[in-house]
Structures are given as structure tokens and as C-alpha cells.
Chain A
Amino acid sequence: MKVPLRWLADYVPITLSVEELAHRLSMAGAEVESIDRTGDWGNLVRVGLVTGVEPHPAADRLRLATVDYGGDAPQTVVCGAPNVAAGQKIAFALEGASLHDAHSGKTRKLKRSKIRGVVSAGMVCSELELGLSDEHEGILVLDDAAAVGTPLGEVLGQTVLDITPTPNRPDHFSVLGIAREVAALTGQAVREPEIEYPQEGPPIAQATSVEIADPDLCGRYIATIIRGIRVGPSPEWLQQRLAAAGQRPINNVVDVTNFVMLEMGQPLHAFDYDRLDEGRIVVRRPRPGEAITLLDGSDHQLGADHLLIADATTGRALAGVMGGADSEVAPDTTNVLLEAASFAPDNTRRTAAALKQRTEASLRFEKGLNPELAGLASARAMRLLLETGGGIADTGVADAYPAKRPPARVQLTSDRLERIAGVAMPTETVRSVLSGLGLPTRWKPPGTYVVETPPWRTDIALPDDVVEEVCRIYGYDNLPSRGLSGVLPEPSLDRPRRVRESIRDALANAGCGEVITYAATSAAALDAVPAGPSGAPSGDDALPLLNPMSSQHARMRTSLRPGVLASYAANARGGARAAGRLQIFEAGKVFLPRPDDLPRERTDVVLAMGGTPAASAHDPEPRAADLYDAKALLDAVAAALRLPFDYEGAEPPDAALLPGISARVGVVQGTGKRRRVTPVGVVGQLDPAVAERVGIAGDVFLAELDVDALAACEPEPLRIGTLSRYPAVVEDLAIVVEADLPAARVHAVLTGNRLVERADLFDVYQGPQVPEGKKSLAYAVTYRSPERTLTDAEIARVRRGIVGQLERELLAAIRESR
């Protein structure tokens, strides 16, 4: 909303600097986005008085004008304008002033020049030269009241506040509404505009009637009539007001309706009365198939709720949005029917959106206007129409008002005010703030303010709405600040959240970089990287967005894999990271669709790693990442969560990973018969075909963990036992087994004996020293008893037991022992 300061000053004296005014308005809720200044010509363009005009001695079409501009002596300049005359107040530019040049279209500095032999050091300006309009035929003649010597900016310049109203304040879409804010903020009263007008014509009931067929969509409709009005250009003051507020002047009738809309916030519409069939108004829903052509020439097929302002037969305007083309006020119009109405805000908004016709009128109606305002605006516009176009007003108004209610009253107790504001406010302060805002307030002892809602407000329905009015004008910054006190709530035990954060820390500490990718992706991206067994089968199953930001972000992801791999690919390509180890992860939500319900939102972690570290002084031939590096990162997670991880060949295989180089990750809980493994994820080498699809060259390893499943596994409580005081005995044991036997099976047997403290695999060998198809696993086995020093004989017995079990259960052979 553009609020010209001069216009604002019609209703309330401006007692603050414009900057301070803008600041106070913003703090109170009417945010001033910018202060726009137009017409600042500096000190070199001033109000001048033409004291004399003489012919140019050497040119018929030129004259010499003598101008008093408040300088030491009047100055004589050459002037080509036909309308220059002695006694005029004009805009006089001195040498050096920056003016608009008609020929080049650029701004240039005015220079002393000789025109047909006469030296001219100054200029009487046209509107074009001042940048005010394209008008170049004659000079700009100023109002007689302008004082000679005043910088022109002070007479013609405009300072305009550009205000962004909040949706609850339709009154801020009006100059008067802002004036009320200013009045309240500066302790003044608003000068209300004049609304009385002479009614000398016949009773209006003889000429028109108003019928509201659909009162759910129209709460009030007022029609008034002027006969014999002259349609023509508006007076200068009206044109200037509109232009300063950013509206193009059209003719006096249209200009008055626009002026009152900008002044009071109530949209109005003027019909050519003689084009209304039977001269009457019917507010109704359209008939099936009904259409309308609007003022801007656009044609619209109307839906069931697109409310029409019709005459006896035909729709003439789209209610609250725009008038129709065939009832428009034209230059030959003599009788005008003026509409001031109140339309349902939600329906107006829906209609304007559906027909793509969001207008100044619909913008105001959709925020909800008080039907009382229509009465004020109707009278105000009638007064201005009579003033600017003459004619005679019919007596009375045709007012259909199904929504009429007594004025709303809100009762606010001083106790409630104090409980919200946190301080006791003096009654006088409260009353002065509220009356400054134009909210009639009565004090009902012992402690209640009775506040009436004025015609321009719709946002004051509850006591707390009044509290806000008081606090914002009093100033939020003038209220005290206090810390919280009272009882603290029970904290929520959100284990998935804690597990997720622990995994983030564990992976970052282990050398991985965290990424966060968009939660929406495309079906194609999801299909490029097959999801794990718990993901959606295909990208087409992922939840689609109705209005995505782009086709790249059209579905909610069902897997983190595509996003993390895309990040991996982008960083692997990016110059500095082209060589080296890359390890990144994301912890985020995936969205698993459920019919007619919100999707299940599961938190996953996906890790992608690969590459070879850059060669260094200490490691000239570094090793490429392999599966065991990826497992090391998962072990860091396992350690952080105190959940032992177990790896087993993935079955069924994960479609994104290479079979044989991929494993299911499980959490082991319980021992012996109660041992169970909960699946929590996968790890493995990304299928090179998939890697190629997502733009990754070289081996990359991927791990995926289901945070919710991990969170469901509780770690064993940590119990610190007594440390054995007896010595350990370590011996090596090389065990020959089938080449494809998982080492974990051997380890389980070794550590199954309670006298074996640990068994560490230090060599895996396949080659000439073991039979074909076999491998040798060499373990350092540590024996220790918590109760005594083990003898050689006891150790030999334990070893025999273990070896026997290995031979029986795993068909193993012992290669050597020492």
C-alpha cells in the first residue's frame, strides 16, 4: 500500500520526521518496506514568479520571460512555451540544475546558452523536463500559493510510505487506516473525511431496488444514484492524490471510486445506470453456463459460486472482483448507480484465484471488510462525485443489509490485560491508546474496558485482540523482560533421535563428512539406485508432490541412497577432491507411502565411501578403500551405540550391491539359545553398473542403517566386573577350513569357551602350504581364568576341547600350534 505523506497529512498532522514515523509504524505492526521520494530537484529548481513577458527580438515563436526566483535580481530567460504569462508561478531551473532532456531522453545539466543572440541562464520548465510526465507543449503552472524561491521539491515532491499490511488488517490498505495508526502513536486525533451530501432528487426507491438472492455471499449492498453527472477529467488535486499512490487517473467517476477505496479501504463500483435492465440490482449466483466479459476485456465462464451483480436479466459485474465491460461508465454517461457492498471474503478470494483476477478490490474484500464501512464509503463517494461532476443525488439509499448486527463489543478486564502484558497499565493510558485508534472505549468499574468495534476493523473479537492493540501502541519495547519460572516439564525420551545423533557423531569422528540433501527427489533418481529390502520397490511408488519445485524434486524420497551418491559423485568430480579418500553420510528421513494416510517417516543413515588417499611422504603407495574400511566405520557406530554388530552374507542380495561383497548388518542380543540377531542395515560394494548410472567412477562402498530399528535395540546395561589378577597365556592357532567358510564361525567356536578371553585373527592364508580349496586362519588365542593361574595341562585341555569342536562342527584341521 502506497501512502503519500501529503495525503496522510489530510487526516492527521505529521509531527515526526518521516524516518521516525516509518519506524514507529513498523514497530506497531504496519511494516514500512521503504520510503520512496519522488521529485527531489535539489536547490537549483525553485518556485519562480513570471514578472514580465516580452517578444524575442530575433524569433517570432520565442519570448523573453523575466522571472523572480528569490535570487538577488530577477532573471530574463528565453522561453518557447505558448502558455507563459506574467503573474504565473512556475518551476524555474537555474544554471546547473539536472533536467530531463526531451531529445536524448537523458538527464543533463542546464548550461548557460545563447539563443538567437540572447543569453539565457535558466529555464522555465515543462512537466517533461521535470520528469513528471510526457507533457512538453507548455510550461508547468504552479498553484498560486507556492512561495517564490521555495525549492520545487517542497511544493511538488512526494514522499510515499510503502507499507506491507498484515492479512488481518484490511484497514491498513487505506490511507485513513494508516492515519489512525499515526494518530494513536503520536497522541492525536484523526480528522474524519466529510461524508454529508445533498440529496435533492426523487426518492431512490422510484429508480432502483436491490435484491440479495445469496446472502451467504453478500452481507450488504448499497446502491445510490446520481443523475446528470458530467464525466470528464478529475480536478488536479484528485489526479495528484491518485498518481502519488500509484493509480492512473481515468475520469472523475472512476477516480472517485478509486480515491475512496484508497482513502477508506472500501472498494466501490460505478455502473452506467441507463445500461442496467430495469435499473435494478440482483446479487446472485450465476445460472448454469453463464459467462461475463470484464472491464479488462477478459471473458470468463462462471462457476457455481462466482457471485454476480446482475440487473433484471444479465450479470453486470463479478462481485468483489471487477465490473463488466458493458455497464462501464463512459464519457457519455449521465446517470450513475454507485455500488458499496460487502462480499464474503473466502468466496471472493476463491473466485479471484480461480479466474486469475486478483484485483485491488478482491485484495481488500478477501481480508474481510466490516459491512458498516460500506455505508461510510458510499456517502463519501457520493459527496465527491457531486463535487467533481455535478448532478443531483436521489434521496436515500437502496440498502439491502442481511448481515446487519449490532456493533460488536469486547470486554477486556484489567486483570486479563495485566496477565498478558505482565504489568499493570494505568486506566488512562489504556483509554487514550484505544481512543487514539478510534476504538470507542467505556470503563465499567470495577475493572472492565468495554471496547466497541468501529466500522473499519474486523480483527477485534476477543479480549486478547484488545490487549495487542494496547501493547503494540504502548510499545513492546516498553514492556519489561522476565525469565521463565515454574516447574520444569518431564523431558521426552526420544531414543531414535538420540541414536541418530550418536551415529552422526560417531561417523564424523571416524572421518566422515555429513551431508544434508533435499527430501524430495525424482522417480528416475530413485529408480537409478535400487533401494534396500525395506525401501519402496520403485520410484513410481514414492509419494508424488502436486506442485513440486522442479521435476528433479517431484517425489518424497523413499531412500537416502540417490541423494548421498549424487553428493559423492559431485564431490568426486569437483577438482580438489578428484583424488583421495571420500567418505560422506546423511542421516535423514525417508517417506514410505501409506494409502490415504501420512507416510511412515523412517530415519535412515546412508554412508558412501571409496577412493584412494593421496600419496604422501609417509605413505607413497596408499591403499584403495575396501569393504573392511567400510566395516570399520560401522564398527565405530556399533561402539558408540554399544550394540555389537554381526555381518552375514546378504540374503536376499541387495539389488544395489555386489553379491558376495555385501553383507546384512545385524545387532546381536542375548547369548546361547537366547541369541538373536535384529537386522538393522546392509554394507557392501556398490554395483559398478549402478555407480556408473549415478556418475561415479571407481569402487564405492555403501552402508545403510535403519535408525528406528537400531533404536529398538537396547544395549546391555554396562556392568564392570572384577579384573582377573591372574596372568594370561597367549598362543597361536592356525586353523585350516574350507575357503568359503565365514571366519566368524571359527571365531565363535574359539571364544565360546569361558577360559578363552579373546581370539584375534592375524593372518588369512591361501596357497601352496594348504590344500586346494582351503584356507588357513591364524589366531592369537588368549587364555585366562578369573580364579587362578592356568597350568599348561589346563590350557592343553581347553585347546583339545576347542580343536575337537572345530573338527566336528567345521571340519577344520589344525595346521600348527606353538
Chain B
Amino acid sequence: MALPDLAALEADARRELAAASDAAALDGWRTRYLGRKGRLTGVLRGVRDLPAADRPAIGKGANALKGTLEAAFDERREALLRGASVAQAAASVDVTLPARSLPQGQLHPVTLTRRAMEGVFREMGFDIVEGPEVEWDSYNFDRLRIPRDHPARDMWDTIWIDPEDAGGPAEGAEPPPRRLLRTHTSPMQIRYLETHRPPIRVIVPGACYRYEATDATHEWMLTQIEGLVIDEGVSFPNLKGTLESFVHRFLGPDLETRFRCDYFPFVEPGAELGIRWGGRWLEVLGAGMVHPEIIEAAGLDPERYTGFAFGMGVERFAMLRYGIDDIRYFYANDLRFLEQFRGSAT
């Protein structure tokens, strides 16, 4: 009995496979070679009838060929599938046509910036609370050591709700409380201290209002972030370290910073943080050590507890971060401006 010629079988199989150009031809090929009555199957079945000496070689060769042909079949089948799709697509697909549109939205830049600023402080362990935008003058001013008729009130041009001395106060009596639109987020220092004890480490984001004519750098509605830290052993270097860390994380690690003396009635010493921006020094936030009278008024021992407070404008930081040159864009709500913030998660 002649030994099967595996080489010839492989050559036939490959030639016929290459010629198969549709699913039916492929099926026929598989039946002819790999099917139950196929040529290769026949060879494998006949191995046991071969002389013992030839069995291992032929058996091993036939099994290897089976694997080879199966792989060749799969490859050919996939090529035909792909070819059919490509042929079909070539007629109708233009990869340069615009995509179908998904609805696209975006957050307001003040929201984006506020959240990014909050994120930095959250990383530093700060709690976040908010407070009322319509306030009593006692919280906005008096209890922050800015009494009535104090020239420091000139620092905050105020939009009032109640008129002065409505009803006329009795001689020597406390003037009646007045409502106003808060001019800063600092009243929340007082409110937070009414309900919290040290360790205190909190920021207060929120809208504030100033009686101020608008121009490219002034808006009468603005968003502030207030900060308050009170604990044992808090010192001016902690104020510096915390705020430097904030601007470095928010605007860039190589930013040059400086602190100069400034005055806010509710802090002592008072400070202002400047950054070197575009070759100039820009003052970007006010700060200071919490005034001991404010700590004492909160029922805390100023000899034991010290702290610092700070306040900064969200719009100002957004303008720096995004290179916005006119603050009035924020509340004009022109979508040509707003839509540029698509995808600006931070």
C-alpha cells in the first residue's frame, strides 16, 4: 500500500481554498478536505492500517496538516467577510463627513473654577459650607468689627434692603437691624463659629454683591471663597503656607508669591497675597490672623486658640486661569462664551 502524499494534499487544498470566493465554495472546500469523508480525514483514519514503522511520521504529519488547514480556512473566511464589508462601505461611506451630533452641554466657568478651587482646599482637609446672601448688617459688618459710621465701611460699597434708622431709634437705643446683600462671604465666619468648635478648617463659597459700577474688571455680583482656620498653635506661617500651596496647586507650582501688609478690621495682622503674573505683581486675595476679639466673641479663649481667615474672588481666578479679559462676560451668559468651556472639567 502506497503511503499517502501529504505534500500533494496540502498543495491541492491551498490552491482550492484560494479559489473559493464565497460562503458556499468555502463550505464545499471544508467538506472535501476536513469533513467526515474529507481527504485529510481519510488519511487520518487510514493511519492505523499503515506499517508500524510509518505510522508515527504520517500520523504526526497529518495531524499537523489538519491544524494548518483549519487555520488557513479561518483566515480565508475572515478575509472574505472583511472584503464584503469593505466593498459595501466603499460605495457609501465618506470618512470625512461630519459625525452625527450628540447633545453637548457645559458647566458655567464660575462653577468650574469654584469646584476646582474647592477641590484644592478639600485636599487640604477643609470642610465646605454655604450661607445666606441676604444678611443682617450685624453679621456683615458690626460683628466683624466694622461698626456703623466706621470709615472701613467704605471698603465695601453696599446694596441695602432696609433704610437707615427705619422708624427712628430711641435716644441711646441700639439702632434697628438692617438687611443688606452681603458684600463678602466673611459673615459666615461668625455664623460658622456659632455652631462649630475647633478644630475649624472650612471654606465658604458663595455670591456677594457690591454697589459698584461695572467695567472690564468690576462686577456688582461676584463669587467669593472665604476660608477660616482656628485651632491651637495656628500661626502666620500656616497662613502663608496654606495660601501659597493653594495658588501653587491652582495656578502652577513655579508661581512667585509675596505677602504684603493690608488692613481688614476682622484680622490682625492683616495681609494680601500677590502673585507674579505676566511680569507684574497682582494682588489676588486678602487674608490675616483672626482678630482675637472675634475668637473671644465666639466663646473661645484667644490665648489658647489662634487662626487665620482669607477671602478670594472666583471670577478673578477664572480670569487668570482662562485668560478672560472682561469680567462682564460671566453674567452676560452669551453661549459663544460659555460653550468654550465644554470639556473643561477642571
Which of B32-40, B72-80, B197-205 interfaces with chain A?
Answer: B197-205
Q: Mark B217-232, 1 if CB is under 8 A from A, else 0.
A: 0001100000001011
Per a CB cutoff under 8 Å, which of A345, A472, A520 touches B269?
Answer: A472
Check: A743 CB closer than 8 A to any chain B CB: no
B241–A481 touching, CB < 8 Å = yes
Question: Does A504 interact with chain B (Cβ within 8 Å)?
Answer: yes
Main secondary structure of the interface of B (DSSP, over half): mixed
Q: How many whole Å from B111's CB to the nearest CB in chain A?
A: 6
Let me know if A484 and B236 touch, CB within 8 A. Answer: no
Q: Which of A4-12, A154-162, A570-578, A714-722 contacts B (4 or more CB under 8 A)?
A: A570-578
What string of 1s and 0s marks CB contacts (under 8 Å) between B113-144 and chain A? 00100000000110111101111100000000
With a cutoff of 8 Å between Cβ atoms, the chain B residues found around residue A504 in the complex are 107, 111
Residues of A within 8 A of B236 (CB): 420-422, 471, 476, 479
- Bound complex: CA A619 to CA B161 (Å): 53
Neighbouring A residues of B110 by C-beta, 8 Å: 516
Are B161 and A616 touching (Cβ within 8 A)?
no
Judged by a CB distance under 8 angstroms, whether B181 is at the interface is: yes
User: Which one of A88-96, A332-340, A429-437, A459-467 contacts B?
Assistant: A459-467
**A191 adjacent to chain B (CB < 8 Å):** no
CB of A486 within 8 A of CB of B107, answer: no
Choose from A511, A556, A570, A601 the contact partner of B103 (Cβ within 8 Å).
A511
Contact A518/B331 with A168-B152, A465-B268, A471-B269 known, Cβ cut-off 8 Å: yes
B261/A28 in contact, CB under 8 A: yes
Q: Which of A329-371 contact B (CB under 8 A)?
A: 345-347, 349-350, 366-367
- Taking the nearest CB of chain B, how far is it from the CB of A433, in angstroms? 13
Contact with B along A547-591 (1 / 0, CB 8 A): 111000100100000000001001100101100011110000101
The answer, among B108, B152, B221, B270, for a CB contact under 8 Å with A515, is: B108
Q: How far is the CA of A464 from the CA of B265 in the complex (A)?
A: 13
Q: Which residues of B sit under 8 angstroms from A786, Cβ to Cβ?
A: none
A519 interfacial by beta-carbon distance below 8 Å? yes
Bound state CA distance, A685 and B209, in angstroms? 34
Alpha-carbon distance between A300 and B180 when the two chains are bound, in angstroms: 30
B150 an interface residue at 8 Å Cβ cutoff?
yes
CA A484 – CA B201 in complex, angstroms?
Answer: 10
* Chain A residue with Cβ nearest B154: A167
**Chain B, residue nearest A470 (CB):** B269
Asked if B134 contacts A484 (CB within 8 A), the reply is no
Known: A166-B262, A167-B154, A464-B269. A481 touches B161 (CB 8 A): no
B246 CB to closest chain A CB, in angstroms? 11
CB <8 Å contact, B199 and A489: yes
A145 at the A/B interface (Cβ < 8 Å)? no
Q: Specify the chain A residue showing the minimal Cβ separation from B243.
A: A481
Instruction: Provide the bound-state CA to CA distance between A510 and B104, in Å.
Output: 7
Query: Looking at the complex, which of B8-16, B63-71, B81-89, B333-341 is the stretch in contact with chain A?
Result: B333-341
B107 and A514 form a contact (CB under 8 A) = yes
A-B interface pairs (CB < 8 A), number: 247
**1/0 contact string of A519-533 vs chain B (CB within 8 Å):** 110000000000000
- A492, B199: Cβ atoms closer than 8 Å: no
Q: Is there a chain B Cβ closer than 8 Å to A419's Cβ?
A: yes
- How far apart sit A515 and B220, CA to CA, in the bound complex (Å)? 17
B268's contact among A169, A462, A480, A619, by CB below 8 Å, is which? Answer: A462
Known interface pairs A346-B150, A519-B207. Does A546 touch B244 (Cβ–Cβ under 8 Å)?
no
Interface size bucket, B side?
35 or more
Contacts A350-B149, A476-B240 given; indicate if A571 touches B199 (C-beta within 8 A).
Answer: no
- Taking the complex as formed, is B21 at the interface, i.e. its CB lies under 8 A from any CB of chain A? no
Complex: chain B residue closest to A619, CB-CB? B100
Residue B278 at the chain A interface, CB threshold 8 Å = no
CB proximity to B under 8 Å, residues A231-284: none
Distance in angstroms from B56 CB to nearest chain A CB is: 48
The reply to whether the CB of B31 lies closer than 8 angstroms to some CB of chain A is: no
* Chain A residue, CB-CB nearest to B244: A481
CA distance A479 to B179 in the complex (A): 40
In the complex, which of the residues A480, A510, A567, A570 contacts B105, with contact meaning CB atoms closer than 8 Å?
Answer: A510
Cβ contacts under 8 Å, B148 to chain A = 346
Cα distance, A26 to B271, chains bound together (Å): 11
Query: Do B338 and A549 touch (CB < 8 A)?
Result: no
Whether A490 pairs with B151 at a CB distance below 8 angstroms is no
- The answer for the CA separation of A465 and B106 in the assembled complex, in Å, is 48
Q: Do the beta carbons of A489 and B291 come within 8 Å of each other?
A: no
Is there contact, CB below 8 Å, between B129 and A467?
Answer: no
Asked if B271 and A567 make an inter-chain contact with CB atoms under 8 angstroms apart, the answer reads: no
Looking at the complex, which one of A516, A520, A576, A616 makes contact with B100 (CB distance below 8 Å)?
A616
Q: Is A599 an interface residue (CB 8 A)?
A: yes
> A598 in the interface, Cβ–Cβ < 8 Å?
yes
B199 touches A167 (CB 8 A): no
Contact flags B144-176 to A (C-beta < 8 A → 1, else 0): 000111111011000111110000000000000
A516 to B134, CA, bound (A): 18
B260 close to A (CB within 8 Å): yes
B106 touches A513 (CB 8 A): yes
> Are A518 and B221 CB-contacts (below 8 A) given A468-B268, A489-B199, A492-B129?
yes
Measured between beta carbons, the chain B residues less than 8 angstroms from A465 are: 268
Q: How far is the CA of A547 from the CA of B178 in the complex (A)?
A: 13
Closest CB in chain A relative to B108 CB, distance in Å: 4
Asked if B51 is an interface residue, CB under 8 A from chain A, the answer is no
B183 within 8 A of A: no
Residues of B within 8 A of A642 (CB): none
A464 and B289 contacting across the interface, CB-CB below 8 Å: yes
A422 touches B259 (CB 8 A): no
For residue B330, CB closer than 8 A to chain A, the reply is yes
Is A497 in contact with chain B by the CB < 8 A criterion?
A: yes
Q: Are A589 and B335 in contact (CB under 8 A)?
A: no
Whether A616 and B127, one on each chain, are in contact in the complex, defined by CB atoms closer than 8 angstroms, is no
Do residues B100 and A511 form an inter-chain contact, with CB atoms below 8 A? no
Identify which of A168, A169, A510, A616 contacts B101 (C-beta below 8 A): A616
Task: Say whether A321 faces chain B, with CB atoms less than 8 Å apart.
Answer: no
With a cutoff of 8 Å between Cβ atoms, the chain B residues found around residue A468 in the complex are 261, 268-270
A357-389 vs B, Cβ < 8 Å mask (1 yes, 0 no): 000000000110000000000000000000000
Q: Is B237 an interface residue (CB 8 A)?
A: yes
Selected from B100, B132, B196, B200, the residue in CB contact (under 8 A) with A601 is B132
Residue with the highest number of chain A CB atoms closer than 10 Å, among B200, B260, B293: B260
CB < 8 Å: which of B107, B129, B159, B200 contacts A548?
Answer: B159
In the complex, are the beta carbons of B161 and A549 less than 8 A apart? no
A591 touches B199 (CB 8 A): no
Quick one: which of B105, B125, B241, B335 contacts A488, CB cutoff 8 A?
B125
Decide: B105 and A512 in contact? CB cutoff 8 A. yes
Also in contact, A169 and B263, with CB within 8 A (given A346-B149, A483-B241, A508-B105): yes
Question: Cβ of A516 and Cβ of B160 under 8 Å apart?
Answer: no
Q: Is the pair A545, B128 in contact by a Cβ cutoff of 8 Å? A: no
Q: How far is the CB of B50 from chain A (nearest CB, A)?
A: 50
Min Cβ gap A769→B in Å is 35
Contact of B160 among A367, A479, A507, A545 (CB under 8 A): A545
Chain A CB within 8 A of B216 CB: no
**Given A482-B241, A486-B199, CB of A543 within 8 Å of CB of B161:** yes
Neighbour of B159 across the interface among A26, A494, A549, CB < 8 A: A549
Residues of B contacting A581 in the complex (Cβ-Cβ under 8 angstroms): 103
**A566→B135 CA distance, assembly (Å):** 27
Known contacts A484-B234, A497-B130, then 5 further A-B pairs from the complex at CB < 8 Å, ordered by chain A residue: A29-B260, A350-B149, A549-B220, A583-B103, A598-B134
18 contacts between A and B (CB under 8 A): A29-B262, A29-B263, A167-B155, A167-B263, A462-B292, A462-B293, A464-B268, A467-B269, A487-B199, A489-B202, A492-B127, A515-B108, A516-B330, A516-B333, A543-B134, A547-B211, A571-B333, A601-B134
For the complex of A and B, 5 pairs with smallest distance between CB atoms: A511-B103, A29-B261, A468-B269, A422-B235, A166-B263
* Residues of A that sit less than 8 Å from B by CB: 26-29, 31, 166-169, 345-347, 349-350, 366-367, 419-423, 462, 464-465, 467-468, 471-472, 476-477, 479-484, 486-492, 494, 497, 501, 504-505, 507-520, 543-549, 553, 556, 567, 570-571, 574, 576-577, 581-584, 589, 591, 598-599, 601, 613, 616-619
